[in-house]
Amino acid sequence: MYHAVLIDDEPYTIEDMRASFPFARYSFTVSGTYTSAEEALPTILSNPPDLIITDIRMQTCTGLELAGICRRNNVQSLIVLLSGYQDFEYVQEAFRQGIYYYMLKPIDDEEAGDILQRAYHTLQEHPIERKRRYTDDALGKALEYIEQNYTSSLPVEDVAAMLYINKNYLSNLFSSRLGLTFTQYRHSLRIEDARRRLTETGESITEIAYAVGYNSESYFWSIFKKFTGLTPQQYRAEHMPLPENGT
C-alpha cells in the first residue's frame, strides 16, 4: 500500500477529500490528516508519505511553502495542491516547486480518480526516474520560459524545440496537469499584464495590446473580454484608482 496524508485547515474539506479520492482502489491508505502544514511537517520530514494532498491557502504555512520545504529537504512525495482560485501566479510557482498536480475546487470525483490512477503508475516507476521527473520537469521549464517570453509570438513548437521534447507531449502536459491549453496559458499571462497596464499606466488600449503581444487590437479586445468579462475600456473605468481630493 502507498501512504497519503491530507492537509487542510477546514475539517469538512478533509472529509471531502476522503469521499472524493478513491484511495483504496489505487492501493493508497490515508496515514494521517492534519489541519496545518506545521502539524504535518514533522511526520512528512521524518517519514515521507508517497502522496500529499494539501490546500494551497492556509492560515500560516501555505501549501506552496510546504512544497518548498519538502523539496529543500529532498522529500520526493507527490504533492497535489487544491486551490479555489485559477490564479496563474500560484500555478507558475506550484510547478517551480515540482508540484505533481494543481487541482481546482470544488473537487471533481472523476478528476480525483484520474489523479490517483496517474499517481499510482508514477509510484510504480523506478525511484531514480521519479527523482528525475522533479529535477528535470519539462512543464516547469516551459512555464518559466513562457513567463519570460509571452509577449513574443511563441508557438508551442518553439517552446517544445527549446526543451528538446515533442510538441504534442508538451501540449498534453499542459492539459493534463494544468487543465489549460498552451495557448490559454500564454493568453492568461498577457491578459494579466494588460490588466496591470490598464490600471497603472496611461497607455492607450492599442499600445497595451501591442505591448503584451497582440498584433490586432480587436483580437486583444475579444481575448480580454473572454478572460475578464469586461472590455479593456470597462476594466480601466472600473479599476483605475480615483484621484486624491484636490488633485
Choose the final residue of a domain: 110, 136, 162. Answer: 136
Instruction: Say if pTM beats, i.e. exceeds, 0.75.
Output: no
81, three cell numbers:
495542491
Query: 33 and 126, same structural domain?
Result: yes
Choose the final residue of a domain: 136, 170, 186. Answer: 136
121, three cell numbers:
503508475
Query: 141 and 129, same structural domain?
Result: no
CATH code: domain of residue 234: 1.10.10.60
Query: 192 and 105, same structural domain?
Result: no
Environment class of 157 (CB within 10 Å of its CB; exposed 0-12, middle 13-18, buried 19+): exposed
Q: How many domains does the chain have?
A: 2
Query: 16 and 64, same structural domain?
Result: yes
User: What is the domain range of residue 200?
Assistant: 137-247
- The SS3 assignment for 54 reads strand
| Sign of the torsion formed by the C-alpha atoms of 92, 183, 146 and 233 | negative
Q: Tell me the pLDDT of the chain (247 aa) as tens digits.
A: 899 999 998 888 899 999 999 999 999 999 999 988 889 988 888 888 999 999 888 877 888 888 888 888 778 899 998 887 666 666 767 776 778 888 888 889 999 999 999 899 888 875 545 555 544 467 778 888 888 899 998 899 998 888 777 888 888 888 877 777 899 889 988 998 999 999 989 999 999 999 999 999 999 999 999 888 899 999 999 887 766 654 4
190-to-87, 177, 199, 214 alpha-carbon distances in Å? 14, 21, 15, 9
